[in-house]
Chains A and B, each alone.
Chain A
Amino acid sequence: MPKDTNYSIVLIEGLKLSPNRGVVFLQASDGSLNGIKVFKSLQESGQKKSVRDLQHRFDAWIDGLHNKKMFHGWDDPNYRNSFVFKWTDRNVMQRLYGFLENPQPRLRPRFQVCVLHTNDSKTQFNTETSHLKLSEALKVDPKVSQAIVKAFPDVKGN
C-alpha cells in the first residue's frame, strides 16, 4: 500500500445492531479499495435486488448463522483473518472481501467486526489469493488499525 494512503471506516446504515458482530467498509484515501464504491453504486443505481441480497447476508452473519453459500472464512493459517461475502449481480458471481477484527478487547472482548475492502467478480473456481493477501496486510497496517480504533474506541463512556 502506498505510504501516504490514509484509511477510514464507513458504517453501513440500516443493518442489524448487535453487541456481538458488525459489518463495515474500509475506505482508502487513494481510492484503491473499491468495496464501498461498489456498494454505494448499487444503491445509487437502484440495483435493489443486489443491495437487498448483500444486506441480508450481512445480517445473517451478524446474527451468528453459518452459511457457506453466503459467506465464509478460510482454514488456511495464512488467511485465517480473511473473510468473504458471496453474492450474484445480474448472473455474475461476485465476492466482497474483508478481514475479521476484534476492535474493543477491553470494552467488548467478544465483539467482532468484518471490515470489507474489495469487491471482485468470481471468474474461476479457485479463490483469487491476492485479495486474501491484501486482507491480511490491511489487518496489520497501523493506519488501518488507527481508523478502526477511531470508529470503535476501546474506552468506557463511548
Chain B
Amino acid sequence: MSKQVAHWTQKSVEDFQHSIAADFIAFIESSMDEEGVSQAELAKRLGVNPSRVSQVLNNPGNLTLKKVVEYVRVLGRKVAVVGYDDGDRENMHGPVNAEVFHTCWKHMDSPTNFFVFNEICEKRKKPACPVFIVVHGVTKTASTDHRSQGSWSWNTWISKSSKDLHCASTL
C-alpha cells in the first residue's frame, strides 16, 4: 500500500475553504427543502436576481461570511463559526463535516448556553426513577419478579435504567 498522503484540503487554503463552504451550502439547501423555499423565492427574500443565488449555491469557494449570514437569516436559521482541535495537526483526515457538529448539538437537546448544557448533562447522568407496585405488603417491580419455592421470599428486580439492573432479596 502506498504511503498515506495528507487530505486534499491540505493542498491550499482555498481547498479547505471550499470544503467547509460546501458543508454550509448543503445546510442551506436542506433548510430550503424543509421550508419549501425555491431558489426563486430565496432570491426574492434576498432582494437579488435568481441567477445570483444559483451562482452562490454552485460556487462554495466564493462564499463570504456576510453572504453566509444573509442566507441563513432569510431562512430563519442561524450560524456559528466553530474552531476545534481534533489532534490532526498535519490534516491527514480532512475537516470534520459541519453536519456532525450540528447533529451532536441537536443530540444534546440544542443547548443555547453552558447553564442549559450543564443541566442537560446532569439530567442524563441520573438514572430513571424505578416504578414500584405494592402487592399484599410485598414490594415488587412492574417488570420481573421470581418467587422462591416454599417461602415468602421474593427476589425483587429493581430496575434503575434499561442498562442498570440489580436484584435484591427480601423476606
Q: Interface residues, chain A, CB within 8 Å of chain B?
A: 11, 13-17, 48-49, 52-53, 55-56, 59-60, 63, 65, 67, 69-70, 88, 91, 158
Contacts and interface: CB of A to CB of B under 8 A. Distances in A.
Interface residues of B, number: 28
B8 A60 contact: no
A14 B100 contact: no
The 4 closest A-B pairs by CB, nearest first: A14-B8, A52-B18, A56-B22, A55-B8
Contacts of A48: 14
Contacts, number: 57
B97 A63 contact: yes
B58 to A, nearest CB: 6
Contacts of B18: 49, 52-53, 56
A15 B58 contact: no
Contact of B26 (A15, A49, A69): A69
A102 B60 CA distance: 33
A148 B34 CA distance: 40
Contacts of A11: 2
B19 interface: yes
